[in-house]
Amino acid sequence: MTQVNQHQMPIRHVIDNAEKAMQNAKDAEMAVRHAQLQSDPHKLSFAIGEMKAAQHLLEQAQSQIDAQDHGHHHQELAQVQHQLEQALQSLDEVASNTEQPRQIR
């Protein structure tokens, strides 16, 4: 029984990290959208920085999941992996909406 708990601990930790990264990404996304609505360039710049940090955390969480021996946790880890991918896609979409068009001269 102790072996099972010790084996589950790292997987639980990886899943917790992934969930925190996804929440961080949602918060960053909301901060960007809020700054855009306020048309505040300083807030937008800060929020974009937060969004990039959140993207890094999502990628790190993906790496941690990839490094796990999925074993009997395969379905749970696959579900979390899918959620991470969706969060990254969502951040990419928000990031593309924050890019300023270049002026043509």
Asked if 59 and 43 count as a contact pair (C-beta separation under 8 A), the reply is no
Which is nearest to 34 in space by CA: 52, 46, 20, 22?
46
User: In this structure, what token pair is assigned to residue 62?
Assistant: 């993906």
pLDDT at 9 over 80: no
The owner of tokens 């960007």 is 32
pTM above 0.85, yes or no: no
pLDDT at 105 over 90: no
Asked if 41 and 103 count as a contact pair (C-beta separation under 8 A), the reply is no
Q: How confident is the model at residue 2 (pLDDT cuts 50, 70, 90)?
A: very low
For the segment 82-88, the average pLDDT, to the nearest whole number, is 93
Q: By CB neighbour count within 10 A (0-12 exposed, 13-18 middle, 19+ buried), where does 7 fall?
A: middle
